[in-house]
Structure 1
Amino acid sequence: MNPSTSSARCGGQSPADDLLDDWLFLSTESAQPQVLEVSREDREDRGQLKSKLISAWNSVKYGWTLKQKSKFSKSSPVIMFGQSYELKDHGERECFRRSFASLLWLTYRRGFPQLAGCSLTTDSGWGCVLRTGQMLLAQGLLLHLMPPGWTWTVSHHAVKDDLDLLVTRSVDGADRGQDVKEGSNKRGRKLSLGSLLDRPMEATHRRVVSWFADRPTAPFGIHQLVELGESSGKKAGDWYGPSIVAHILRKTVAASADLPNLVVYVAQDCTIYLEDVRRSCERPLPQSWKSVIILVPVRLGGQELNRSYITCVKKLLTLQCCIGIIGGKPKHSLFFVGFQDDHLLYLDPHYCQPTVDITKENFPLETFHCKYPRKMSFSRMDPSCTIGFYAKGQKDFESLCTVVNEALSTSAETYPIFIFAEGKSQEEERTNTPTNTITYIQRKNGRRRVDTSNSLDEFVLL
């Protein structure tokens, strides 16, 4: 890596990565101010110039990727967040497209207010793990706040003039298309009714998006994540591992006044301690629980996943309680949301977009949603990852423990990815991620001693 770009800790791409640089996004307008500022002698201006030059280089090298379309087979289903879609069926194929386009897509941004303690106004080249962490949290928030089966009704926003198709919602939450060509008056009445029904959900949708805005006051924005990362020894421009990001997300939700009924629990040493979860979720009212997002940082073996772990990851992604995986390739984080056959389905944060001013009324939402799903072979997945789950209440958490344990049992010939354990952890409550520790993973009648002093990215080696 070029020393002049030391702030960009995100690894480079090989030709086989299928992430091509899109030079078209490097416009002459964006380059012109940088040339004009070279002659200035003021220290602050020189710092801003350096930041812009580094951001431009990072964006060219890492950030501006083509929105490529992956090919999907019609002979096998696509699994995404516990739902199975048969692509050979037109209706299910359209349902999959709407469901995927409804996921929140958080990418590199440029042109936001300076991050505290530096002159950076973009996270291009170094913030990919933070962005995938945002997407993982966003998926949990959509499950927490939106009705089951909610999808973003794109036709109300992107195709304002096209009233040929009105997307309405059925009782069970699924979307269906309705032909409204019977007449302009009838069509207008149906559109008004659809807009009226969608209004509360659309307001919540916009509120969730605003929480991830690139501004200092946003509770889950890049500024807040970088600030909370300082307690873990990280700063803007550094590489954030998936484990560090899991703890940052826990802190952001705990500090937010907008989500009093939600907690984030981060597993310690590949173990979910049930007493710790219960203590976090219990409320003063009898029989009342908070909702919980459970994040499990793990490292699945050595340099690549073996077949047993691939099978287990597939099983976890078929569960409706799973809200995705922060992972990807080494120093190149992606957000995995499902799979088809031996290929993972993902959202890619490595696409640098201009910052959106969410203070404007009806700010555009299109850049927060991705139309084209991408695929990657399981064999290319980096073993270091963080797996997320969501439970709305106590019964949901008990069900989560049951189905996740069943999924973990598929890796019978290897040690489990993680385990559930009664009792509480030995770590002090609210501590940072442990680095050099000795971990014991219970397996039937024995246990294995694991020295994690050489583990990469603060993960436990299995």
Structure 2
Amino acid sequence: MEEIYAACITYEPGIIDYVDLKKLTEPVWLLGKQYRVHEGDEFEKLNEDIVSKPWFTYRKQFSAIGDSGLTSDSGWGCMHRCGQMLMAQALIVRHLGREFTWCSDDPDQTYLSLMEQFDDRPECRYSIHSIAIEGSLLEKQIGQWYGPNTVVQILKRLAEEDEKNDLVLHVAMDNMVIKKEIRKLLRRKRKNEEDNRRSPILLTVPLRLGLSEIIPTYFEKLKAAFRMKQSLGIIGGRTNHASYFIGYVGKELIYLDPHTTQIYKSPREDSTFHCSRPSRMDFTQLDPSVALSFYIESESDFEQWCTDARQVLLEPEKDALFEILEEKPPMMPYVDIELDDDFDASLNERDRIYTSDEEFELLM
């Protein structure tokens, strides 16, 4: 395990060893939770929270992806892995709650069942194989890197056909969250459900926050996003280095880094799917292409999210990260599919989803 943990630390300018966190007097925010590491057992609680987050990295020696012959995603699959980490964390919150903690000696069986869906095998719903092959339907070659917008679009398509989970992934395009669309999704029932259970939403908001660098006025907004109770973090990175950002402390982001190549193992052998030493980097190193992510449980939760977002993410208006609108404006440049009553859509309809990354990122 020591080798794995050490591999999580990236020694580069601006990257700081996790062990320094114990010496901090500033609060640490991790997906909506605050930790004051210099008080009581807060450091131990923070460490427990971090190690409970799924950590997906490059793997090698898995079965070939389609006809590509590729048996490793090293060098190209970092954003694929970030998408997996985001989706896995969303499913954990859905089925086990935000307070879930992972125990290596006695892993939760529901947790293991969720993780199996990310196994690097072609038949698994959110495997590297499924993500890469679904991407090929969007004219992304197997073995080609993705940006934040592409990976959430692909995960959305995979989630639409997920018979095991009732989580809906919604992509808010063009910097707009449309309330009418979200409410409609929250009011739907999964097909074949006899009860009145509704489908929670993984809300993703792809953004471009500058040209080559993030405009500094957005840093405080991004911090505020991590403080929101619905936060599921941010996928993005710095140039040529995609990562899953789960929190911040002071002027630094805390993130899980997929750039470690491990031999293929099933998630049931899951000590290699957890990391106790995430990396840290200054906000100024973050690439301007990101996707903010939030877990929305219900309509009331969504209304509270809208209220909080307007206060901390959208004010003042000139520095707003995105817009929250009641209805979609006319002449939108993309098609947002409205699913029919059995919560499905035809392939022809889904193929019309806007997926261009030209406006978003250059991440590898």
**TM over 0.5: same fold?**
yes
- The aligned runs of 1:282-431 (5 Å cut-off) are 282-283=187-188, 289-357=198-266, 363-410=268-315, 412=316, 414-424=318-328, 426=332, 427-428=334-335, 429=337, 430=350, 431=352
Please, which of 184, 192, 196 is the counterpart of residue 279 of structure 1?
Answer: 184
Kept in 2: contact 1:212–1:218 (CA 8 A): yes
SS of equivalent to 1:71: helix
- Is structure 2 residue 168 aligned with structure 1 residue 219? no
The aligned residue for residue 61 of structure 1 is: none
Please, which of 54, 65, 86 is the counterpart of residue 136 of structure 1?
Answer: 86
Work out the CA distance in 1 between the residues paired with 2:135 and 2:221.
31
Tell me by how many angstroms 1:231 deviates.
2.1
The aligned residue for residue 10 of structure 1 is: none
TM-score, length-normalised on structure 2? 0.85
Please, which of 249, 254, 257 is the counterpart of residue 160 of structure 2?
Answer: 254
Work out the CA distance in 1 between the residues paired with 2:101 and 2:362.
36
Tell me by how many angstroms 1:286 deviates.
10
**Quick check: 208-217 or 274-283, which moved more?**
274-283
TM-score, length-normalised on structure 1? 0.68
Kept in 2: contact 1:131–1:349 (CA 8 A): yes
The aligned residue for residue 207 of structure 1 is: 113
SS of equivalent to 1:414: helix
SS of equivalent to 1:457: coil
Kept in 2: contact 1:335–1:348 (CA 8 A): yes
- The aligned runs of 1:110-125 (5 Å cut-off) are 110-125=60-75
The aligned residue for residue 173 of structure 2 is: 268
Identify the structure with bigger relative contact order (alpha carbons < 8 Å, sequence gap 6+).
2
Q: Which amino acid aligns with 1:322?
A: S
- The aligned runs of 1:5-44 (5 Å cut-off) are 16=13
Work out the CA distance in 2 between the residues paired with 1:250 and 1:103.
21
Structure 1: where are the runs of 5+ without partners? 1-12, 20-67, 158-198, 437-453
The aligned residue for residue 26 of structure 2 is: 76
Please, which of 10, 35, 43 is the counterpart of residue 93 of structure 1?
Answer: 43
Summarize deviations over 1:231-260 as a string: whole Å, max 9, x none. 22112211211100010010111111111x
Work out the CA distance in 2 between the residues paired with 1:252 and 1:352.
25
Going from structure 1 to structure 2, the CA distance change for 1:456 and 1:96 (only over 3 Å counts) comes to: closer
Kept in 2: contact 1:243–1:433 (CA 8 A): no
Aligned length, in residue pairs:
332
Tell me by how many angstroms 1:400 deviates.
1.5
Summarize deviations over 1:43-86 as a string: whole Å, max 9, x none. xxxxxxxxxxxxxxxxxxxxxxxxx5452242111110111111
- Is structure 2 residue 103 aligned with structure 1 residue 103? no
Structure 2: where are the runs of 5+ without partners? 1-9, 338-349
Work out the CA distance in 1 between the residues paired with 2:101 and 2:75.
31
SS of equivalent to 2:318: coil
Work out the CA distance in 2 between the residues paired with 1:84 and 1:100.
12
Going from structure 1 to structure 2, the CA distance change for 1:69 and 1:315 (only over 3 Å counts) comes to: closer
Going from structure 1 to structure 2, the CA distance change for 1:112 and 1:275 (only over 3 Å counts) comes to: same
SS of equivalent to 2:63: coil
Summarize deviations over 1:191-225 as a string: whole Å, max 9, x none. xxxxxxxx7xx001101111111000110010000
Greater share of helix: 1
Identity in percent: 30
SS of equivalent to 2:223: helix
Of the two, which has the highest radius of gyration? Answer: 1
Work out the CA distance in 2 between the residues paired with 1:14 and 1:370.
16
Please, which of 113, 124, 135 is the counterpart of residue 229 of structure 1?
Answer: 135
Deviating beyond 4 angstroms after TM superposition, the runs of 4 or more aligned structure 1 residues are 284-288
Going from structure 1 to structure 2, the CA distance change for 1:93 and 1:230 (only over 3 Å counts) comes to: same
Work out the CA distance in 2 between the residues paired with 1:230 and 1:124.
18
Summarize deviations over 1:19-43 as a string: whole Å, max 9, x none. 9xxxxxxxxxxxxxxxxxxxxxxxx
Work out the CA distance in 1 between the residues paired with 2:168 and 2:360.
27
**Quick check: 264-273 or 280-289, which moved more?**
280-289
Q: Which amino acid aligns with 1:265?
A: H
- Is structure 2 residue 337 aligned with structure 1 residue 433? no
Kept in 2: contact 1:232–1:432 (CA 8 A): no
